[in-house]
Chains A and B, each alone.
Chain A
Amino acid sequence: MSVTLKPVIWYRSKLVYDGVVLLAMFLYIIAYLRLAPNLQLVSRPIDDAILRMRAFGSCAFLLVSFILAIGPLSRLDRRFLPLLYNRRHFGVIACSVACAHVYYVYSWYLNLSPLNPLLALFSANTSYGQVLGFPFEIFGVLALVILLALAFTSHDFWLSFLTPRLWKSLHMLIYLAYGAIVAHIALGSFQGSGDPFFVMIVCASALGLVGVHLAARSVSRAPEGTAGDDNWVDAGLISTIADKRARIIDLGEGEKVAIFRYDGKLSALTNLCAHQNGPLGEGRIIDGCVTCPWHGFQYRPEDGCAPAPFTEKVATYRLRRDLDRLWLDRRANPPGTRVEPLPVNEGVADGG
């Protein structure tokens, strides 16, 4: 959390995170470009530029695949949550690797011709009416434009400027970029070298990603609040909410509420963190504040306000009880509205 926008706020965890990602990237590139060529069974060496475009292109694909797996893995196993913390740096590194791939394609395949290289990119191959020989470069261009847009807007300034909802929608384009990358590889590289092992790696990565997303979706489905009188919905038994944790209630149409139990009280907040719409209900009460599991943004449970000097606010909700059963008013209060916490009475069985 920060009161003002700064280029990058470095913590030890971020340095270690970036260091591991960069080390993995460098090892891949060095192995590809420096170690393996001595072991290749070829009649003559592969051109440096072609080897580099292959190395950086395949590396970018693997990095983006891993980035996309972090979200669902965190849902399936909370121990992956720290990988979410600095995912934007990971994305910028992957975008830089993709740019290196484009640089070698641009300077080797598209350069030194009668056409301007940028014009050549779009006009050298216009066989749009066929699968074999389709201008697969166009998918690469689409993916690169998206990656650049996401890298450029990855800073919190853009998050604040665009609002979290719009920023999140924009960054969901990463899935379109991934689809474009897979199409780019399938219509290009697969038809070129045709290495079955690389085909297997790409297919396994893409199918694995679909698999973990489906698995995460099935385990993270929040219970729907049962409609009651007027605007009140049944939010389940109080005794089943663990201390300093929350239960997430799905009100439908994408609206979810996190009901926290802490210090013998109950409070309800929107499940969306004001920072990146992270799932507050998967967070904890730390130092008396609801703490987002993604980046540690904090809010007071009774009014949804970040503690001073921070200024973020989230919507709050009213609660009432009927013995051990909890009822939630589905009408959200404006962000920062104080709602008196509901006490957990002694007569209620404590399941926390």
Chain B
Amino acid sequence: MAGDGKDAFFIGYINAVPQPLGRFLAVIGLIVVVVMGGLGLVLSRRTADPGWAVTGYQHIEVRGILEARPYPVLRVPDGEGRKPRAYLLAGEGKYGVQSQADGLYGRWVTVAGYLLKRGTLDMLLVDDKEGIVVASASDVLHPAPPQSLGRWRLTGEICDGKCYSGAMSPGNGLAHKACANLCLVGGVPPVFVSTGAVSGSEYFLLTDDKDGVNARRFADFVGQLVSVEGEIERVDNFYIFKSDPETMRAAGP
């Protein structure tokens, strides 16, 4: 068809482009530019909500008793008008704070760091410079013993406690699996995010039924929907899921 550019012959090193062909190429170029701009807008606009969390900008200092459950947990007993609280601890980067906590378990300490918070999970990212410092003991304040909530089969996702609690947005899912595994290998506590609540909480510190901290046992299941059985304990405001790795199964979407 004459005039639509189909008969034109383009040679790149000759600068003159036959007009009908030039018009066709201009239209194609415009379509490509507009479609790309539109797709960028729509795809980003449709980003899934990572969920609300406190994301680690608040620097705080907390005094309490350091416990191994089996990950380092700072227990702040009730008293002086406040409720008891327990903070999971993690370090900067993809590291836990086991080496800093060694030798201090059972003692009163002051921990300086940044607060992460999601649901019933409170986590302190221990400040590398200030760290965990031995503090004066209190004779009157004692943490309550853990409360057993029985045996449960839960369905949910294994995440690393730091990214999920707010250090990353989002910090879960299979796209994040390698990052989560690196966190767990580095000593960051794993958490189990359940699809259903137990005693009002969907978030659990995940250990195995031997109170082990071998996160490698969970590595193949991190980031995907799984179901697993285990005992649940409540410790102040947070919950521990002592799972039986032998019962862990991939769950359907």
Contact with A along B161-189 (1 / 0, CB 8 A): 00000001110011111110111011000
Query: Is A35 close to B, CB under 8 A?
Result: yes
| A132-B40 contact given A27-B33, A43-B52, A47-B169, CB 8 Å threshold | no
Q: Report whether A135 and B39 are in contact in the complex, using a CB–CB cutoff of 8 Å.
A: no
Asked whether B25 lies within 8 Å of A124 as measured between CB atoms, the reply is no
Report the Cα distance A195→B42, complex, angstroms: 11
Q: Which residue in A9, A41, A43, A191 is a CB contact (below 8 Å) of B51?
A: A43
Within the complex, what minimum Cβ distance (angstroms) separates B32 from chain A?
5
Residue B47 interfacial (CB < 8 Å)? yes
A31 touches B182 (CB 8 A): no
A8 at the interface (CB under 8 A from B): no
Interface 0/1 of B137-179, CB less than 8 Å to A: 0000000000000000000000000000000111001111111
Q: Is A228 an interface residue (CB 8 A)?
A: no
Distance in angstroms between the alpha carbons of A133 and B48 in the assembled complex: 20
Structural contact, A133 and B33, CB atoms closer than 8 A: no
Report A34-67 residues with CB < 8 Å from chain B CB. 35-37, 39-47, 50-51, 54-55, 58-59, 62, 66
Note all chain B residues with C-beta closer than 8 A to A114: 94-95, 182, 185-186
Centre residue among B4, B38, B43, B181 by max chain A CB count within 10 A: B43
Which listed residue, A78, A125, A191, A295, touches B181 by the CB 8 Å rule? A125
Question: Are B250 and A132 closer than 8 Å at their CB atoms?
Answer: yes
**CB closest residue in chain B, given A194:** B48
Q: Report B182 CB to chain A, min CB distance, Å.
A: 4
B12 proximal to A (CB < 8 A) = yes
| A23 close to B (CB within 8 Å) | yes
Once the chains bind, are B174 and A192 in contact (CB under 8 Å)? yes
Contact (A55, B46) CB under 8 Å given A109-B178, A124-B178, A296-B12: no
User: Is A286 in contact with chain B by the CB < 8 A criterion?
Assistant: yes
Asked if A188 meets B46 with Cβ closer than 8 Å, knowing A28-B39, A201-B39, the reply is no
Which of B8, B40, B53, B222 lies in contact with A31, CB distance below 8 A?
Answer: B40
**Are the C-beta atoms of A20 and B32 separated by less than 8 Å?**
yes
CB closest residue in chain B, given A130: B220
Bitwise interface map of B from 39 to 65 toward A, beta carbon under 8 Å scored 1, else 0: 111111111111111010000000000
CA distance A295 to B48 in the complex (A): 45
Would you call B212 an interface residue if the criterion is a C-beta within 8 Å of the partner chain's C-beta atoms? no
Whether the Cβ atoms of A40 and B224 lie closer than 8 Å is no
A12, A46, A132: the one within 8 Å of B169 (CB) = A46
- A47-B169, A192-B176 are contacts. A85–B40 as well, Cβ < 8 Å? no
Q: Does B24 contact A (CB under 8 A)?
A: yes
- From A24, A58, A113, A135, B93 is in contact (CB under 8 Å) with A113
* Chain A residue with Cβ nearest B49: A42
Q: Is A267 in the interface zone, CB < 8 Å from B?
A: no
- Which chain B residues lie closer than 8 Å to A79 at the CB level? 4-6, 8, 21, 24-25
B21 neighbours in A (Cβ, 8 Å): 79, 82
Check A346 for interface membership: any CB of B closer than 8 A.
no
Query: A291 contacts the other chain (Cβ, under 8 Å)?
Result: yes
Distance of A186 from chain B, by nearest CB (Å): 11
A44 touching B55, Cβ below 8 Å: yes
**B178–A35 contact, CB under 8 A?**
no
Q: Render B8-40 as a binary contact track against A, CB cut-off 8 A, 1 for contact.
A: 111111110100010011001100110011111
Task: List B residues 59-80 near A (Cβ within 8 Å).
Answer: none
CB pair B44–A133 under 8 Å, yes or no, is no
- Decide if A302 is an interface residue (CB 8 Å cutoff): no
A161 at the binding interface (Cβ < 8 Å): no
B221, CB-defined interface residue at 8 Å: yes
A24 touching B37 by the CB < 8 A rule? Answer: yes
The reply to whether the CB of A83 lies closer than 8 angstroms to some CB of chain B is: yes
CA A284 – CA B14 in complex, angstroms? 15
Task: Pick the contact of A37: B4, B38, B44, B179 (CB < 8 A).
Answer: B44
Q: Digit string of B199-228 for contact with A (CB within 8 Å is 1, else 0)?
A: 000000000000000000001111110000
Task: List 12 A-B pairs, Cβ < 8 Å.
Answer: A20-B33, A43-B52, A55-B40, A62-B39, A110-B182, A112-B92, A113-B186, A120-B178, A130-B250, A133-B224, A291-B9, A291-B11
Q: Which residues of A contact B (CB under 8 A)?
A: 1, 9, 11-14, 20, 23-25, 27-33, 35-37, 39-47, 50-51, 54-55, 58-59, 62, 66, 77-83, 85-86, 108-110, 112-115, 120-121, 124-127, 129-130, 132-133, 135-137, 187-189, 191-195, 197-198, 201, 283-284, 286, 291, 293, 295-296
